[in-house]
Amino acid sequence: MKKFNRTKLIATVVIFLIGLLPGGCDTRQQSPPPSPIPEVSVVMVQPQQVMLTTELPGRTSAHLVAEIRPQVSGLIQKRLFTEGSYVKTGQVLYQIDPAPFQAVLDNANASLARSEANLPAIRSRAERFKELLADKAVSQQDYDDAAAAMKQNEADVQYWRATVEAASINMGYTRIIAPISGRIGISNVTEGALVTAHQPAALATIQQLDPIYVDVPQSTTELLRLQRRLEEGRIKYEERNQNQVKLILEDGTEYPLGGTLQFRDVTVDPSTGSVHLRVIFPNPKGVLLPGMFVRAVVKEGLNKQALLVPQQAVSRDPKGNPVALIVDTDDKVRQRMLTVDRTIGDKWLVSSGIAQGDRLIVEGMQKVRPGASVQVIPFDDGTKNVPKPVNTAQPAAKSN
């Protein structure tokens, strides 16, 4: 009887404990809650108006260059300028010993005076012989001799006048003057040096630096690409300020004064495959010196439908091609292959792959894959209250 009661008690306790288990005898596991939909930040792609520019390397060169050479031979008596100073047109730079040239001029003047003194008497004699010839008082031969003597004396007068003029010119050449205004460099001769007329070595060089030229090479590939874009209407030539050029100095700073594109050369350099552009810049303070390496920002044209996307929204596939993720109308992620043209500040200029109105993913790309559903929130770049600068485009390595 005791054994029966103890068995009944154990059975009652077991039934009670089983009843305390959740779900009774149902031991099935509960399913986990569904994962939340990831959030991504997007920007709406909208066309913008930007001025496309090309940054090209170049070098400065003087606006005018004059190499000073003597036009007569002689000894340098004086140097009448300070090296490195600014000289004006007509300023005397060197004085050649004028004594030999003065002697030649004096001799020519004397000979001219002698011929002019003899001319009246010879002319009167010829005129008298002409009157006497009518009366048969002199022979024809006598008259012919008098007339020939008069013409010869007149020719002598003209010859010595030309000789005097030539001697005066050579006398003036003993004063070597500056043909242009500008900065003069080092003198290659000193006082007492012997110089010869039209010698190959210049005595000094004058350079006019205000304004100053910037010579820029542009590859024919870039030139053909620009012409094709203009023909296709992708960019528009803005005639009003198209020829305005900016300049970046060697230290990376921008030159404060703008330049003007004068012309594009029509001859291609066979060694470089490029044509030369010449830009002129004002240089009142002499900041730009001949031979400086600079970068010129040349305007290509105006793109009124440019699609700009943040650089952080563009990634690369294993082959190096640029790709981006967008969100379609069903809030699903789609991948797009892009063709980027160049950088504009912190953005890419996209030629193809996206269209106006696309929602481009900027943040959260690491959490999603193509085809996944996402929750869209606007992208805040922190520049809503910051004034937008004027967009200009610089060329970058072209990607396809």
DSSP 8-state symbol, 387: P
CA dist., res. 93 & res. 179, Å (int): 10
DSSP 8-state symbol, 12: H
CA dist., res. 361 & res. 354, Å (int): 12
pLDDT for the residue 80 = 93
CA dist., res. 17 & res. 20, Å (int): 5
Strand partners, 335: 325
- Give the lowest-confidence range in 146-160, 165-179, 237-251, 350-364: 237-251
pLDDT for the residue 371 = 85
Q: Could you tell me the pLDDT band of residue 399, with boundaries at 50, 70 and 90?
A: very low
Say if 73-97+175-201 and 99-172 have the same CATH topology.
no
Look at the block and give the residue holding tokens 């200029």.
Answer: 349
> What average pLDDT is seen over the chain?
82
- pTM as predicted: 0.66
CA dist., res. 153 & res. 143, Å (int): 16
The predicted model gives 196-225 an average pLDDT of 88
The predicted model gives 365-387 an average pLDDT of 73
DSSP line for 268-337? -BTTTTEEEEEEEE--TT----TT-EEEEEEEEEEEEEEEEEEGGG-EE-TTS-EEEEEE-TTSBEEEEE
Strand partners, 373: 332
Query: Which among 279, 275, 298 is positioned nearest to 220, based on CA atoms?
Result: 275
Helix (H, G, I), strand (E, B) or coil at 238: coil
Say if residue 168's pLDDT is above 90.
yes
Helix orientation angle between 99-134 and 140-173, rounded to the nearest 10 degrees: 160
Interval 252-262: pLDDT, tens: 899 999 888 88
Say if residue 108's pLDDT is above 90.
yes
Query: Which among 337, 345, 311 is positioned nearest to 43, based on CA atoms?
Result: 311
The predicted model gives 84-111 an average pLDDT of 93
pLDDT for the residue 130 = 78
Say if residue 25's pLDDT is above 60.
no
From the number of C-beta atoms within 10 Å of its C-beta (0-12, 13-18, 19+), residue 99 rates as: exposed
The predicted model gives 101-119 an average pLDDT of 91
The predicted model gives 41-60 an average pLDDT of 86
* Domain boundaries, given as residue ranges, for the chain: 44-61+209-395, 73-97+175-201, 99-172
Residues with Cβ within 8 Å of 380's Cβ and at least 6 positions away in sequence, in order, are 41
In CATH, the number for domain 99-172 is 1.10.287.470
Higher pLDDT, residue 204 or 141: 204
Q: Could you tell me the pLDDT band of residue 386, with boundaries at 50, 70 and 90?
A: very low
DSSP line for 160-197? HHHHHHHHHHHHHHTEEE-SS-EEE---S--TT-EE-T
Say if residue 361's pLDDT is above 50.
yes
CA dist., res. 184 & res. 208, Å (int): 9
User: Among 3.40.50.1370, 3.10.105.10, 3.90.1150.10, 2.40.50.100, what is the CATH number of 73-97+175-201?
Assistant: 2.40.50.100
Q: Could you tell me the pLDDT band of residue 312, with boundaries at 50, 70 and 90?
A: confident
E strand or H helix at 206: strand 204-219
The predicted model gives 259-272 an average pLDDT of 82
Query: Which among 252, 218, 203 is positioned nearest to 53, based on CA atoms?
Result: 218
CA dist., res. 308 & res. 312, Å (int): 12
Say if residue 229's pLDDT is above 70.
no
Tell me, which fold does domain 44-61+209-395 have in CATH? Elongation Factor Tu (Ef-tu); domain 3 (2.40.30)
